[in-house]
Structure 1
Amino acid sequence: MPSEFDLIRRHFTRAPRHTDLAVGDDAALLRAQPGSQLAVTTDMLVAGTHFFADTDPEDLGWKTLAVNVSDLAAMGARPRWAFLALALPVADEAWIAAFARGFFACAGAHDIDLAGGDTTRGPLTLSVTLLGEVPQGAAITRAGGRPGDDLWVSGQPGRAALGLAALRGETALSPAGHATCIAALQRPQPRVALGLALRGLASAMLDVSDGLLGDLGHILEASGTGARIDVAALPLPALVATGADPALARRSLLGGGDDYELLFTAPAACRAEVEALALRLGLALHRIGELTAEAGELRLHEADGTLVRSARTGYDHFC
């Protein structure tokens, strides 16, 4: 049976690229760029709550880091240093090796050093603390939205929720739709390039982890605004094209979560810049509504012209 330190040396030690002292000592030594602020986030994934216990460990390694990378992307920060804490029921070397491959694939894609962490025996729990850098004063928070700002969302929210529904046997998707939605659930793609490009352009931003409407509520609360969503502008047709029932597709898009797309606001005067950015990045950016002056009020403008007040529902671990 390998020891804790054997496992760390064998699977989680890599040559650092921008860390003065990384894995193997009592603490890491980091050197931030002059003129930068540190952005720090942490997330925990627990078997049975955030993922099925039989999830492919390589996919799980990727996602464990990716969900944190998405948090930094949502603030316009560049990810740099990760700290990984693992509670493992058993020291299954094959599982750990596959997990490490996925984790370091995500780290390599975003130029992140694993700078430290911890392992222990216990129920399968995965936790990452991720540090990044952003120029002083350039971070994009949830609090900058103003009435009249456009409301945008990146990519295709709703796919991960459909993937989860498919795994649970709650829906049947086409073969192509099934593959696309499972990939969105298991291998989310953090929008780091978009987050960096939106510095100085977006007025408020967050990533969609607990559902579009629920997460939008955080922007409304922090910015002191309301919002109107144009239902006809939502990227719903692509979800229906997966073979999903239209009602389920709509629920997945508005309340499903786990997509890690970016939801952001920007002044209407910047609309052409945002559209040009979408072309430059090759990433769909959907203008789905606008912020309003009615603090906390969220309304859906339906295709038939009716305006419906909506609850800001989303995933909550304790509800």
Structure 2
Amino acid sequence: MSHRTSTWTRFEFVRRYPFDLAAVSIGAVFAYLVVTSFASESTLRLAVTFPLALFLPGYALVSILFPAGERDARETASTAAESRPRGIDATERAGLAFVLSLAIAPLVVLLLPLVGLSLTATSIAAALVVVTVVTAQVGVLRRLRTPAGERFSVSPIASLGSLGRGDTALATASSILLVLAVGTAVSALFVAFLLPASAGGFTELALYSEDEDGEIVAGELPSEVESGESIPLTITIENQEGSDQEYTAIVQEQRLEDGEVVDRAELRRIEASVSDGATGTGERSVTPTAESGETVRISVLLYEGEPPASPTNENADEETHFWVTVTGE
């Protein structure tokens, strides 16, 4: 008999588990799986990012702050304060969820570097999911400890029925308009930050060299080199595209006349795999083939994936260069 009672108790807890908070937790986990499984330009990834950043964390926090439902209009303020915790309706919860989420997301971004984590789409999504799920479970406990007749519950049919009742209809309509206005403003702000990242992020290419002390520095590439002498280079590729990338770097020697390239020669071709959020570094050397007395441009042309048949500075995804004069015999 005790075994049956224990089993029934467990099922009773599942039956009483708030549907809205279960949906919030499951939705957050689903959003994380989409963010980490789809490319940054994916429409589905963009769609799930909105609720994960702008609604779910705030809604979970609201469930802790306001476990009770809306007070009955017949209750006086003093009676309600003595008999039950303060409650709000579903429309007010939605509005507060937007506002609180707008405060939670920046805090998560600020705290991640403090705990030694890099700011990537995966780390930010994971942090938001942890905050949402943990907060939602605390909200479940708060709500279940509220008397059954007073706790908040999701009832769409009852909410729709209240829309046609006099002052209630006017107040509800005003609350809905307020939520829509807040949601529109917050979404527009979020899109302004999100669209540059969803458009493909960025890749940064840089050239470095060693100084006399063996330190890697920028702007120290030689302007002159003897014929047949090699030039050591350190090439760095920073990948902030939102996903792992395959790159091809082509080092060209270019001879220019009147600002136009009249001759080009490929000195090296480098293939590199760089993880999202990482910086790949490679040390290479190139040997100009120009004749003594000629000044040539050494260009590094970077392509995502396979380069075109005729690589140029104009069709490269990223490009950097320096000038060198060949001296001696």
The TM-score normalised by the length of structure 2 is 0.21
Name which one, 1 or 2, has greater alpha-carbon Rg: 2
Greater fraction of residues in helix: 2
The TM-score normalised by the length of structure 1 is 0.21
